[in-house]
Structure 1
Amino acid sequence: MRRSHWWALPCAALVLSGTAPVAAADQVRDGRSQPVFAAEPVRETVWVETGLDGDGDGLSDRVAADIARPAGTDQPVPVIMDASPYYSCCGRGNESELKTYDEQGRPLGFPLFYDNYFVPRGYATVLVDLAGTNRSEGCVDVGGPSDITSAKAVIDWLNGRSPGFDAPTGGNPVEAGWSTGDVGMIGKSYDGTIANGVAATGVEGLRTIVPIGAISSWYDYYRSDGVSFGFDPVGLAENVEEGGRPDCGPVKQQLIDGAPANGDVTPLWTERDHLPNAGQVTASVFAVHGLGDLNVKTIQFGQWWDALAARGVPRKVWLSQTGHVDPFDFRRAEWVDTLHRWFDHWLLGVDNGITEEPAASIERAPDTWVDEPDWSGEQAQDAVLYPSADGLVPQPAPGGTASFTDDPALDEYDWAAQPDQPSPARALFSTASLTDDLRLAGTGSVTVTAVPSTPTAHLSAVLVDYGPATTRDYLSPGEGIRNLRTESCWGESRPGDDSCYLDTETTTADVDFEIIARGWADLANHASLSEEEPLEPGQPYTMTFRLATADHVVPAGHQLALIIGGTDSMFIVPPGQPGQIGLDLAQTSVTLPVVGGAPAVTASGLEAAFDRLPQVRPDRVPPRPDVQLNRDETGS
C-alpha cells in the first residue's frame, strides 16, 4: 500500500487546504533541500523478516536495519539506504568506519556522511546489515538470494509489505509510518552491487540507485571467459561473517561446490548475474566507476550500462581515472552537490534540472573533467583491426603467423615494458604514430585462432597506449589519491557521529605507456563457457573474449598496440600445462569501440611497423600495482 507524498500534490492544493507541513515551504531553496530539521535525529533498529531461513533454525531470518530519521515532524520522509556486509568486519569509506552503538544497543555512529548531511534535509538514512553479518540473522551468500532479499525486504517493510520488529527474535511489530516508502540505494563495491541486484528485482518503492565501483555479474568478479582469477566467494563469506556462524556451513559448501576452479559458468554464477534482469529495473541509475579499477573491473560497469541503455533506463555516469575509490574522496564538493540534487529530484520530486544536465562526466587527465550529453560509449562504432607482420592494420593479411610461449612468471607490464625488443612470451602488434586523436569508449573484444602445443592454454590480451603521459597513479596503494592531515565536514556532527573526514589530494605518475584494456580466457572454453574440453595439441581453435570497458583517448603522435600472451600473472592462474601457442593472424582480430567510427581509425595512420615503436625510458615505466589485486572484494 502506497503512502501519500506531500511533495507530489499540486502546490495550489497545498496552499488552499492548509495541509502543507510547516517546514515544506522552507525545505527547498535554489533547487536543493535545506537543513531545516535541526533536532537530534531519531535513531532506532528494526529487524525485518526476509522470509528466508539461511541458518536452518526453522525461523524466518531477520535483518537489522539501523535508522536515523528527522525528529519532531509528522511529514513523511524518503529513505537513503546503504545495505552492506561490512559494518562490523571491514568498515566503510576511506577511513574504514564501523557502526557503533550506545550502552542500550541503539545505533549511534553511522559510517559515511549520509546521515549527517541528508537527515537534516528531510531524509531518513537506513543502513542494513546483510543477512549473516553484524546484527542480522541468516547467512551471507555473496550476491545470491540471501544478500538481495536482505535489502529488498527492508524496502518492502518501508512500503508496508513485510513485517518488522523491535528485536531480533520475538519483540513487538514496528511499522514505518514515518516514511513515504520511496528509497534511493547507494553504496560502493559490494554495497553498490546489492543496489544493482535489488533494482533488477523491480521492487516497488526503489526510485533510484547510485552504484559506485559495483559488480553486475559475480562471475566476472571471480572469473573471465573460462579462466579463474584465483580466489573464490567462500573466502569473502568467511571474511564478512568474521569467521563465525557455524550454522552457515551448508551455505559455504554451496559456494564451494558452485564455483569450480576451472572457471566454467555454473548455476551459482548465473543466479548472481543481474544483466538478464536489467529489463525489470524501474529505478534511475547514477553509476560511478574508476577506469583504473583493477578490483571491480570496468567490464562490470560497461555491460550493466549497455543493458540499462538498451532499455531506456534514466541514467547518469561519472568515470574517473582512479582505481576502486569513492567520488567523495576524489571530487568531494562536486560529488556531494550532485548527489544532493540527484536525490532531491528522484526522492523529493524537486524540479532542479539535473536530468537535463550532461549525463556523463569523464576524467580525461588528473582532475580534468569533460561532460557529455550522453556517454559516447553508447554511440561508439566497432572498428576491426588485424595483427600482421606490418603491425595492427585495417585489413587481414593472409598467411601470417606468430607464436609465443606461456611463461606464468611474467605479467602484462613485463610484456609491455620493452616494445622494441622481441620477447618469446608475447606477440605484440602496433599502429604507427597516430595522426589524429583516437577515442575508444565502450567494451571491445579479441578474436584469436590459436594452436596450442599442450592440452591446456590460457590467453591474455592487452591494449596499450604508447606515448608519454601524466596519469592518476591508480596503481599506487591509494589508487589515485593520498590522504591529507586536514579535514572537511559535511553535515551535522553529533556526539559519537562525526561528520568530518580526511581531505585527499590527487597522486599522479609520469609514464611512457598505459594499459587501457585487458581481457583473459581459457581456450578450452572456446565452444562453451559452461563446459571446457581438453585441447588437441597442434589443432587450431577460434575463440572470442572480452576486453574491459574503456574510455580513453590515444593522442595524436602516440601508438596503439595489441599484445597477446599466455598467463598474465597479475590476474589469472596458469593452465595445467603451459606451452607454446601459435596464432593464425589472418583469423585473429581486435574489435575496438571507436567514437567517430571506423573512418576515424583508418585515417589515423595504421601503416604500422614494429621498428617504429617508442623506446620506453626505464624511469617512466608504470610501476606494478602495490594494491592487492587477486583478492576477495572488500569495501576499502
Structure 2
Amino acid sequence: MPLPALRRAALLPGIVVVLTGLSASLLSAPAAVAAPSAPPHVDGTETVPVYDYADAIRESVWVTTPLDNDGDGAKDQVVVDLVRPKETARAGVKIPVVMDASPYYQCCGRGNESELKEYAEDGTVTQFPLFYDNYFVPRGYAFAAVDFNGTSRSTGCGDVGGREEILGVKAVIDWLNGRGQATYADGTPARATWTTGKVGMIGKSWDGSVANGVAATGVEGLETIVPIAAISSWYDYYRDNGARYTTDFGPAWLSGYVNGRPPEVCQPVRDELLAGSANETGNYNAFWHERNFVPDARKVKASVFVVHGINDLNVETKHFAQWWDALARNGVPRKIWLGQPGHVDPFDFRRAEWVATLHRWFDYWLQDLRNGVMREPMATIERAPDVWVNERTWPARGAFPFPVSLGAGDGTTGTLGLVPGRGTTSITDDPSLRETRAVSNPNAEVAGRQVFLSAPLNRDLRISGTPEVTLRVRVSQPNTQLSARLVDYGRAPRIDSMGPGEGVRTLSTESCWGASTESDDACYRETAKNVVTSDYQVMTRGWLDAAHRDSLTRPTPLRPGRWYTVTWRLNAHDAVLPKGRVLGLVLTLSDTQFTIPSSTGATVEVDLRRSRLHLPVSLHPGATALPEVSAAPQVHAPPAPRTASTESRWHDFR
C-alpha cells in the first residue's frame, strides 16, 4: 500500500514554545514524504500489457552448474533463453521471472501444436513455445525458457529427474538471485541485475516434474511453482507397488530420446541410468529415492498451484495426491485444479479461465499484488464435462476411508456393502484379459475376473481421495500380480479421456493470448471436449506385485497354500456418483495391458470376510455410504468403443 505523506503539526492557539540553541531551519515543518509510485505495468491490483513485446530484449546465457556429469573436466552449463521488456531495463525497474525448464524445446516441441524454439542466424532466439512470453512480458515479467542439461545447446547429460537435472535448473534460480555465474555466447560475464530474483516455475509433465524437484531443494528466490500433470516420484511413474509399467521406455531410453549431445558423449550416463533403474526387479532403491521429491516437501518454500487431469493415465493421479498431501502436512500455500481430461494442459481444456487465474496467481506471488486469489476456494474440480465447482479444500472436507465389505452375491457377481461377507471366492489368472472385457457386463461370468457391485445408490456418493484395497489371499504360486479397478456403472455423458486427444480435439479456429511478432505469434488453435455417452467408466486403477506386499526394496515370495493379508492403494480420484448409479470393484490378476507382470498363471483364493475396500467418502452426518445389498443388481454395460494400452500409454509421454 502507498505510504501517506507526513502531515504538518498545527500549533495550538495560545501556546508559546521557546526553543533555545536551534537554528531556524530546524523550526521548519518536516518535509512531506512522497508515496512510491507503481511501475507502469501495475494498475491497482493487476499487471497490464504496457510494454512493447516486439521490441523486447531477447538474449541467451549459459549458466554454470555445480556438476560435471559428462566428464569433460568443466562444469556443465545450461542454456537460458530470455525475453524481457526493454522499457523496464531502461528505467531500472526490476521485474520477476516466469520460467519453463524443459527437455523438449528442440527435440519434440511444447504444447498442443508442438512448438519449438527458433533462432536467427546470429543465435538470437526469435520464437518461444507456448503463450507465457507473449502474455506476461508486456505485463512486466521476464520469461526464461531453460534447456535441461544434455538437451539443445546445454552441456552435461540428462539424468531424468536426478541431481544433474534438478541442480542444473536450480543453478538458474541461483544466478537470477546473484548467487551463480553465467556467460553470454562470447564468454563475457552475464549478470541478472534487471530482476527482483522472484521466480515462478511452470510446466506440463516433465517440465512440471522438474519444478517439483527444484522446489524440494528449498532454493531461495523460487516463489511459486505451477506443476501441470507433473511427476512427484519417478519410481511411481514407471511402477506401482512393484508392478512394472514398462521395461523398454525407462529413464535410459528417455535420456536418449531428448539428448542433444553427440551420442557417444552421454552413453556412459545412459548406461548408469539403465543399471540404476533395476528394470528386472521392480524394486525401489537409491536410484529411485534420488528421484522421489515427496520426502523433501518439508523443504518447499514456494507456493504450489497443482493442475492435473483426473483421468490421466500417463502421469497418474497418485503423483499429485501424494505431493499434495505432503505439502499440506508442511503448511505450504497451495491451490489445485482437477479436470476431467487425461494428460492435457488446462490451456487446452479451460483456456480463458486458466489464463485469467494463472495471471492473478503470478501477480500475487511474483508482483506482490494483493488481488485476493489466496482468499478464494482452494480447489476447483470438473464434475462433468464443462461443469466446474469450487471446494474449500481437497480431498473433500471431512472425507474419510469408509470400510466397504465384499460379499459373495449370487455366486457369479459379488456385492459391495456394509455387512462382512462369508466364504471365499477364487480368481484364476488370464493374461489375455483386457480391461474392456474385465469391466463390462459385470453380471456375466468371465474367466480371470471377480466383480463386486453395490446396490443402486439411494443418494449421491462423493468419492474424494485415494481408495485402498485389502485382501486376505491364498496363492497357488510364489508370486502373482493383483489388479483392482473402481468402476462407475450407469449411462451418462462422459469425457472420452481414453480416446484420441485424451478428451479434447483441436479445432480450426484460433484465439490469441498476448502480443505477437512475425516470428512468434500468440495465437493458438482452440479445442473442445470429446464427450461420449457410455454405460460405465473406470474411475481409478491400482496394481500390486504380491512379492512386494511388505517392502518395495526387498521382495519376498509367497508360500503357496498360506494365507496373507495384502493392501495396496489405487490412484487418487474425485467424483460424485449420482443417486441410482452402481459402484463396482473389479479384481483381476496379471494385467498385460497396463503393466509388465513378473509372474502369470496363478490362482488366488480370497477370504471375503477379511477383505475390504476402503473408500474415501465425504458424508453428511448420519448418512450411510452404500445401501446394503444381498444379491448383486443386474447391470448392463456393453463394451466401450475404445481402450487404452501399454503401447498408447508411452506413445505421448509429454
Q: If the TM-score is normalised by the length of the shorter chain, which range does it land in? A: over 0.9
Cα distance in 2 between the residues matched to 1:199 and 1:12 = 40
- Separation in structure 1 between the aligned mates of residue 386 and residue 99 of structure 2, nearest angstrom: 29
Q: Residues 480 and 11 from structure 1, CA distance in 2 versus in 1: closer, same or farther, beyond 3 angstroms? A: farther
Give the Cα separation in 2 of the matches to 1:595 and 1:71.
52
Equivalent residues of 1:139, 1:245 under 8 A apart: no
Match of 1:55 in 2: 70
Q: Give, in whole Å, the separation in 2 of the partners of 1:19 and 1:158.
A: 29
Distance 1:129 1:561, change over 3 A: same
Q: Take 1:633 and 1:482, find their aligned partners in 2: how far apart are those partners?
A: 15
Q: Does 1:615 align with 2:631?
A: no
The residue number in structure 1 matching 2:13 is none
Deviation per CA, 1:341-400: give whole Å up to 9, x if none. Answer: 0000000011111111111110011011011122244631110112111311223234x2
Which of 581, 586, 590 matches 1:563?
A: 586
8 Å CA contact retained: 2:469, 2:613: yes
Structure-2 residue corresponding to 1:125? 143
Where does the alignment leave 5 or more consecutive residues of structure 2 unmatched? 7-30, 410-414
Query: Which residue is equivalent to 2:289?
Result: 270
Alignment-derived partner of residue 468 in structure 1 = 491
Structure 1 residue 455, shift from structure 2 partner: 2.2
Aligned with 2:513 (options 482, 490, 499):
490
CA contact (8 A) 1:444 1:592 kept: yes
Closer, same or farther: CA 136–597 of 1 in aligned 2, 3 Å: farther
Distance in 1 separating the partners of 2:624 and 2:61: 58
| Residue 5 (structure 1) aligns with | none
1:429 to 447, 452, 475: 452
**AA at the equivalent of 2:546:** L
Normalised by the size of structure 2, how large is the TM-score? 0.91
Query: Does the residue aligned with 2:419 lie in a helix, a strand or coil?
Result: coil
Residue of structure 2 in register with 1:41 after alignment? 56
Q: Do 1:460 and 1:518's aligned partners in 2 also have CA atoms closer than 8 Å?
A: yes
Matches of 1:289 and 1:227, distance apart in 2: 23
User: 1:434-583 residue pairs with structure 2 within 5 A?
Assistant: 434-583=457-606
**1:252-303, CA deviations, whole angstroms, 9 ceiling, x for partnerless residues?**
1221112222211111111111110001111111110001100000000111
Structure 1 counterpart of 2:272, from 254, 257, 264: 254
Tell me the equivalent position of 1:360. 379
User: Which residue of 186, 203, 213 corresponds with 1:187?
Assistant: 203
Partner residue, 2:325: 306
- Segment of structure 1 superposing worse, 581-590 or 218-227: 581-590
Give the structure 1 partner of residue 17 of structure 2: none
* SS of corresponding position for 2:353: helix
Tell me if 1:68 matches 2:83: yes
Do the aligned partners of residues 627 and 91 (structure 1) sit closer, same or farther apart at CA in structure 2, a change above 3 Å counting?
farther
SS at match of 2:439: helix
Larger Rg: 2
Letter in 2 for 1:614: V
Name the CA shift for 1:106/1:38 in 2 (closer, same or farther; >3 Å). same
Question: 1:173: which partner in 2?
Answer: 189
Q: Tell me the SS of whatever aligns to 1:336.
A: helix
Matched, 1:334 2:353: yes
Find out whether 1:210 has 2:192 as its counterpart.
no
Q: Distance in 1 between matches of 2:145 and 2:433?
A: 43
Which structure is richer in relative contact order (CA contacts within 8 A, separation 6 or more)?
Answer: 1
**2:93 is aligned with 1:79:** no
State the shift of 1:180 in Å.
0.3
Tell me which residue corresponds to 2:42: 28
User: What SS does the aligned partner of 2:332 have?
Assistant: coil
Q: Is the CA contact 2:429–2:600 (under 8 Å) kept in the aligned structure 1?
A: no
Give the counterpart letter for 2:297 in structure 1.
A
* Structure 2 residue identity aligned to 1:142: V
The residue identity in structure 2 corresponding to 1:578 is G
Matched AA of 2:544: A
Secondary structure at the aligned position of 2:543 is classed as: strand
Instruction: Judge conservation of contact 1:76–1:178 (CA < 8 Å) in 2.
Output: yes
Shift in Å, 1:306:
0.8
Cα distance per residue 1:91-111 (max 9 Å; x no partner): 100001111111101111100
The letter of the residue matching 1:353 is G
Q: Alignment partner for residue 301 of structure 2, among 263, 282, 286? A: 282
Contact 1:431 1:609 in 2 (8 A): no
**3-state SS, counterpart of residue 47 of structure 1:** strand
How far has the Cα of 1:251 moved from its partner?
1.6
Read off the aligned partner of 1:201 and give its amino acid letter.
T
Moved more, 25-34 or 352-361: 25-34
Kindly indicate whether the alpha-carbon contact (under 8 Å) linking 2:593 and 2:645 is maintained by their aligned counterparts in 1.
no
Give the SS at the match of 2:266.
helix
Pick from 389, 395, 418: which aligns with 1:394? Answer: 418
Paired with 2:349 and 2:264, the residues of 1 have a C-alpha distance of: 40
Counterpart CA distance in 2 for 1:313 and 1:590 is: 31
Matches within 5 A, 1:193-232: 193-231=209-247, 232=250
Judge conservation of contact 1:458–1:566 (CA < 8 Å) in 2.
yes
Corresponding residue of 1:149: 167
Given that 2:5 and 2:35 are in contact with CA atoms closer than 8 Å, whether structure 1 keeps it comes out as no
The percent of aligned pairs where both chains have the same amino acid is 48
Report the 3-state secondary structure (helix = DSSP H, G, I; strand = E; otherwise coil) of the residue aligned with 1:300. helix
Distance 2:230 2:268 in 1: 27
Q: Quick check: 1:419 aligned with 2:435?
A: no
Partner of 2:391: 372
Supply the distance in 2 between the matched residues of 1:628 and 1:490 (Cα, whole angstroms).
35
Q: Structure 1 residues 623 and 358, CA, compared in 2 at 3 Å: closer, same or farther?
A: same
User: Deviation at 1:598?
Assistant: 8.9
Q: Distance in 2 between matches of 1:11 and 1:91?
A: 50
> Is the alpha carbon distance of 1:437 and 1:158 closer, same or farther for their aligned partners in structure 2, counting shifts above 3 Å?
same
CA RMSD across the alignment: 2.0
Q: What residue identity is the alignment partner of 2:304?
A: V
Distance 2:436 2:370 in 1: 49
CA distance in 1, matches of 2:163, 2:5: 45
Deviation at 1:60, TM superposition (A): 0.3
Q: Residues 216 and 10 from structure 1, CA distance in 2 versus in 1: closer, same or farther, beyond 3 angstroms? A: farther
Gaps of 5+ in 1: 1-7
Task: Give 1:576 shift.
Answer: 3.1
Distance in 2 (CA, whole Å) between partners of 1:186 and 1:510 is: 34
1:115 aligns with 2:136: no
1:9-50 CA distance string (max 9 Å, x none): 85769x9666957xx354223532001112511000110011
The 2-side partners of 1:330 and 1:196 are apart by 23
* Paired letter, 1:27: H
| Structure 1 residues 495 and 626, CA gap change in structure 2 (3 angstroms) | farther
Larger deviation, residues 105-114 vs 561-570: 561-570
